[in-house]
Structure 1
Amino acid sequence: MMTAKDIALVWPYLLLGLVVIQRVIELAWSERNRRELMKRRGREIGRAHYPLFILLHGTWLLAMFLFVQPGIPVHWAALGAFLLLQLLRVWTIASLGPFWTTRIITVDDQPLRRRGPYRLIRHPNYLIVAIEVPLLPWLLSLPSQAVLFGVLNLALLGWRIHVESVALSPRRQLQQS
């Protein structure tokens, strides 16, 4: 049985393990939705840059596993912020329902969803990711990785938002739900 001291030593690895499990579940959900959208005459846009996201996020997680130190102190405010972001992530994914994917898939005759956080901002999922990519390494006392991956992620997200905005602009004219 693990003692409190044991948990204090391994908590960073437990947290990273949970993030990996979350990401695997999200990728499976995304792939399911992608297949269904493609059956509905969906088109994938920006396919060429998608592997860069896989590489960036995979490297981000691997680097944290490799460099985090056991027994680092818990930054409770940062952990709380990270957990709040995960709740916002679930709300964001649920708001798009079957239209949520990690890829840019557009179904031309479907209006854009304006539910949940999408009523407030265009790209809530990207905002969440832009915050959590530097926040998680910072929470794990890895400030250099927080800066490096935060900057790389922002650059890649900037390009993706541009590509997605162009792809979705014709659908903005349709009646929104």
Structure 2
Amino acid sequence: MVWYAALVLAVAGERVAELAVALRNTRWARARGGVESGRGHYPAMVALHTALLVGCLVEAAVADRPFVPLLGWAMAAVVLAAQGLRWWCIRTLGHRWNTRVVVVPGLPLVTGGPYRLLRHPNYVAVAAEGIALPLVHGAWVTAALFTVCNAVLMAVRVRCEEAALTSASGVPA
């Protein structure tokens, strides 16, 4: 269980790094006329992602979930792949990547990197991690609850993002 706690804490550290990048990118975007949308759902997103990390540790410990090697190692690989995809998204979008929806009017859509393959690859990474991280140590209730709540939140988020991109470019996203 100690190594699992270390994994969850490493993911939490990665989230802190994301927030630092997002803060820098928010300043960059606002200096160029960036407009933020979707402020109302952002606190729910932060709460959900925090609950995922806490839920992983609490469920594994309190429910005494066992580490099942075949499942656990496979899910650990998915967690690592999700981190790779997330940072590929961050690198591809550069200053335009954010945890918030902040769009600089007039900039064209990014169509390189993972965006040439998927419309919202970062959300694929989030969904994969939300399922895999809890299942590394058998926390299936956390995985299920996160997946359902994340699906609802992503429906709101993607609509918000698409509307903001359309508004900023004048062309349907």
Deviations 1:114-145 (A, max 9, x none): 11011111100011111211221112201111
Report what 1:113 is aligned to: 110
> What is the Cα-based RMSD across aligned positions, in Å?
1.7
CA distance in 2, matches of 1:135, 1:88: 14
Counterpart selection for 1:76 from 52, 73, 76: 73
Question: Pairwise mapping of residues 129-140 of structure 1 onto structure 2 (< 5 A)?
Answer: 129-140=126-137
Equivalent pair of 1:33/1:99 in contact (CA under 8 Å): yes
Counterpart selection for 1:158 from 149, 155, 161: 155
Question: Pairwise mapping of residues 1-177 of structure 1 onto structure 2 (< 5 A)?
Answer: 9-69=1-61, 72-74=67-69, 75-170=72-167, 171=169, 173=171
CA distance in 2, matches of 1:56, 1:62: 10
Q: Percent identity?
A: 39
Report how far residue 58 of structure 1 moved. 0.9
CA distance in 2, matches of 1:120, 1:56: 27
Report how far residue 18 of structure 1 moved. 0.4
Give 1:98's aligned amino acid.
H
Report how far residue 17 of structure 1 moved. 0.9
Give 1:72's aligned amino acid.
F
Report how far residue 173 of structure 1 moved. 3.7
Distance 1:164 1:106, change over 3 A: same
Equivalent pair of 2:78/2:128 in contact (CA under 8 Å): no
Give 1:54's aligned amino acid.
V
Deviations 1:13-62 (A, max 9, x none): 11011001000000111111011100100000011110000111111111
CA distance in 2, matches of 1:49, 1:82: 25
User: Aligned residues, how many?
Assistant: 166
Structure 1 residues not aligned, in runs of 5+: 1-8
CA distance in 2, matches of 1:29, 1:155: 26
Deviations 1:77-100 (A, max 9, x none): 111121111111111110001100
Secondary structure in 2 aligned to 1:108? coil
Structure 2 residues not aligned, in runs of 5+: none
Q: TM-score, normalised by structure 2?
A: 0.90
